[in-house]
């Protein structure tokens, strides 16, 4: 049973319990291009209490640097690329950190990319050599023939994210790397079946990796929410105590499950995909957040009452 | 327990029992470009006994007309496009027949194609209007935006086969048709995870439909083996008595399962993917053919002994 928060005392109680606050972005901080009321003040309030603030997104098309542009545009403070102050963790960054810092890919090894420049940028920043991706040689609809294909013996992983330039050549090459070398890792940035574009839903990163999943008959290692591999990647970069960490999100099957998989407390906000009716009544989800509040903006009442 | 055939009497017994003989092609009639020893004689012998001969293939990139070129090249007699004498049934043709003759798509309706010219040719021959596929507008790696997309209200089905020009635009459009119109049918020519190219395995038609399967969270209607929809399509075109029909194939999970799903007798040949050890011993498959013989060519002994 979730605890429903509403009074200034309820919110102040959270502040006492949790030092690290992790946030999903879309549906929690903003809707598309519109900031949610009170969010900027709440984040400032958390910082004023010396809380650690982390943004966790499955968006794998943008690097953190380019994703930060959205924060700046909407007036939300966020630090990136000033280690150890990195505050934005995307699933593309998590894939790069997984390779550099979790499994520690040996020098000289590289990855074959199905994905976009944001993913390549993160790999580059983590010192991971890569081929494929946005390389014009592989961004083609020309027929692919195995006869002319030379396997790069240094490829030790295939990393697959959302790629709007996906094609049969990329899938065929990735399939060769994954089948001819049984040790080659199969990594997906995230398993989201759809991607919320400005004008509606389109196939997401999980759909982009689906042909390889089907051809291989196996699932990838996933570095996005709800996989706890994402937390392993955050852990590789910053210090936090899971027992004093709370994950705030709007989706039960990604954000809240992610928190639960990682042993974090969870706070569901109702400003996004999940409605009140999804968590009450007989058909409610088996994924139960610890806390529920209408909006992240509700936490403003702490400031008002405390100051 | 399968019956192992070896004597001329064994083979003559089959001839008494079955009037319609259905054959898989690769691994049964030929290996790539090499005909299997004795096959031409056996097919001629079956015809001389007035047996109905049907070739059933999951290849969805070629129309029957272009697939017949392979039969001609290897000296195997096969009739196409002289109804009711059609003898080659491909999964692309089955998809077209499913639309024209099984569900009887109303005039004025059309299908959105992810697939190649062979599939389009079969749709055209069955009088099914289609868009997408090899249309240069949809064979592009240019960014796709929903803002500029106009849904064709006459699209009543998405048909997906092997398509080496697959791309994000095709998947995005197909996804719109399938989600914005809940009655839109989702059809896949076949579910083969891989495709045996001349130089090795590449992702197959099942892998090409996988992104839609993942994005929609549902499986397509499949018109290829082992689905009995393929048999419904053959039934729509020719007369045969399932009790006097035998399916000959080299794959347990496509050919033999297809025969079993359709209530046909099944004969496994060991000239293709299945080895003796796959059907004997403790790890053998749960799919058990009625009869097993080394090669289709073995049936030549009937001719020798009878004449």
For helices A168-180 and A205-216, what crossing angle results, to 10°?
A: 50
In-domain check, residue B83: no
Q: Which residue range is the domain that position B115 belongs to? A: 105-222
Question: Among residues A10, A19, A26, A232, which one is catalytic?
Answer: A26
A269 and A211 in a common domain: no
- Nearest CB among B194, B202, B215 relative to A194 is that of B215
Choosing among A164, A195, A218, which should be mutated to test the B contact, i.e. which has the most B CBs within 10 A? A164
Condensed to tens digits (0 to 9), the pLDDT of residues A246-268 reads 999 999 999 999 999 999 999 99
In contact, A40 and A284? CB cutoff 8 Å: no
Q: State percent of chain A over pLDDT 70.
A: 97
- Nearest CB among A144, A179, A203 relative to B175 is that of A203
In-domain check, residue A200: yes
In-domain check, residue A94: no
What's the average model confidence in pLDDT over A167-176? 98
Contact B199 A145 (CB under 8 A): yes
Condensed to tens digits (0 to 9), the pLDDT of residues B89-146 reads 999 999 999 999 999 999 999 999 999 999 999 999 999 999 999 999 999 999 999 9
Condensed to tens digits (0 to 9), the pLDDT of residues A182-193 reads 999 999 999 999
Contact A172 B143 (CB under 8 A): no
Distance from CA of A180 to the nearest CA of B (A): 11
What's the average model confidence in pLDDT over A138-143? 97
Contact A145 B197 (CB under 8 A): yes
A241 and A216 in a common domain: no
Q: Determine whether the annotation assigns residue A250 to a binding site.
A: yes
In contact, A178 and B230? CB cutoff 8 Å: no
A218 and A114 in a common domain: yes
Condensed to tens digits (0 to 9), the pLDDT of residues A30-43 reads 988 899 999 999 99
CA atoms within 13 A on the CB side of A257: 12
In contact, A231 and A11? CB cutoff 8 Å: no
Q: Where is the domain boundary, A181, A201, A222?
A: A222
A170 sits in which H/E element: helix A168-180
A238 and A288 in a common domain: yes
Looking at every residue in chain A, the average pLDDT score rounds to 93
The pLDDT assigned to B307 comes to 46
Q: Where is the domain boundary, A222, A238, A270?
A: A222
Contact B165 A141 (CB under 8 A): yes
Least confident of A1-10, A72-81, A269-278, B120-129: A72-81
Condensed to tens digits (0 to 9), the pLDDT of residues B60-86 reads 778 888 888 889 999 998 887 655 457
**Structure-block tokens of residue B190:** 């076949």
B270 and B171 in a common domain: no
Distance from CA of A24 to the nearest CA of B (A): 22
B268 and B194 in a common domain: no
Asked whether residue A119 carries a pLDDT value surpassing 70, the answer given is yes
In contact, B86 and B122? CB cutoff 8 Å: no
B282 and B237 in a common domain: yes
Q: Region of B286 please: left (phi>0), alpha (psi -120 to 50) or beta.
A: alpha
**Structure-block tokens of residue A136:** 């014009």
Phi first, then psi, for residue A286 (nearest 5°) are: -75, -10
Using pLDDT thresholds of 50, 70 and 90, give the confidence band for residue B214.
Answer: very high
How many domains would you assign to chain A? 2
Tell me which residue of A55, A57, A45 sits closest to A14, measured CA to CA.
A45
B173 and B115 in a common domain: yes
- Residue of chain A nearest B209, judged by CA positions: A211
The pLDDT assigned to B207 comes to 98
Tell me which residue of B231, B266, B263, B232 sits closest to B252, measured CA to CA.
B266
Contact A203 B167 (CB under 8 A): no
In contact, A270 and A2? CB cutoff 8 Å: no
**Structure-block tokens of residue A192:** 């989201």
Residue A189: CB atoms within 10 A of its CB come to 36
Condensed to tens digits (0 to 9), the pLDDT of residues A211-223 reads 999 999 999 999 9
In-domain check, residue B72: no
Q: Where is the domain boundary, B222, B241, B275?
A: B222
A260 and A214 in a common domain: no
Q: State percent of chain B over pLDDT 90.
A: 80
Q: Which residue bears the tokens 């749709």?
A: B123
ipTM of the complex: 0.91
Q: What is the CATH number of the domain that holds B136?
A: 3.40.50.1000
């Amino acid at each position: 049973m979730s605890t429903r928060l509403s009074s200034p005392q309820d919110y102040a109680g959270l502040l006492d319990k949790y030092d690290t606050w992790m946030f999903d972005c879309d549906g929690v901080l903003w809707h598309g291009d519109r900031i949610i009321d009170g969010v900027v003040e709440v984040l400032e309030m958390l910082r004023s209490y010396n809380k650690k603030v982390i943004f966790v997104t499955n968006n794998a098309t943008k690097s953190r640097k380019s994703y930060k542009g959205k924060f700046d545009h909407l007036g939300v403070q966020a630090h990136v690329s000033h280690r150890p102050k990195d505050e934005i963790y995307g699933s593309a960054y998590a894939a790069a950190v997984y390779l550099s810092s979790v499994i520690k890919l040996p020098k000289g090894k590289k990855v074959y990319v199905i994905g976009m420049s944001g993913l390549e940028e993160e790999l580059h920043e983590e010192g991971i050599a890569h081929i494929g991706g946005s390389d014009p040689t592989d961004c083609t609809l020309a027929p692919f023939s195995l006869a002319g294909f030379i396997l790069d013996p240094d490829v030790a992983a295939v990393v697959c994210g959302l790629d709007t330039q996906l094609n049969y050549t990329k899938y065929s090459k990735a399939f060769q790397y994954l089948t001819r070398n049984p040790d080659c890792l199969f990594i997906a940035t995230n398993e989201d079946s759809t991607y919320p574009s400005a004008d509606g839903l389109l196939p997401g990163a999980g759909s982009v990796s689906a042909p390889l999943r089907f051809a291989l008959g196996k699932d990838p290692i996933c570095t996005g929410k709800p996989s706890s591999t994402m937390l392993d990647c955050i852990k590789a970069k910053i210090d936090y105590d899971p027992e004093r960490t709370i994950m705030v999100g709007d989706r039960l099957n990604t954000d809240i499950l992610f928190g639960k998989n990682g042993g974090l407390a969870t706070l569901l906000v109702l400003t996004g995909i999940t409605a009140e009716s999804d968590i009450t009544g007989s058909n409610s989800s088996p994924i139960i957040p610890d806390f529920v509040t209408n909006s992240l903006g509700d936490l403003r009442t702490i400031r008002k009452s405390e100051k």
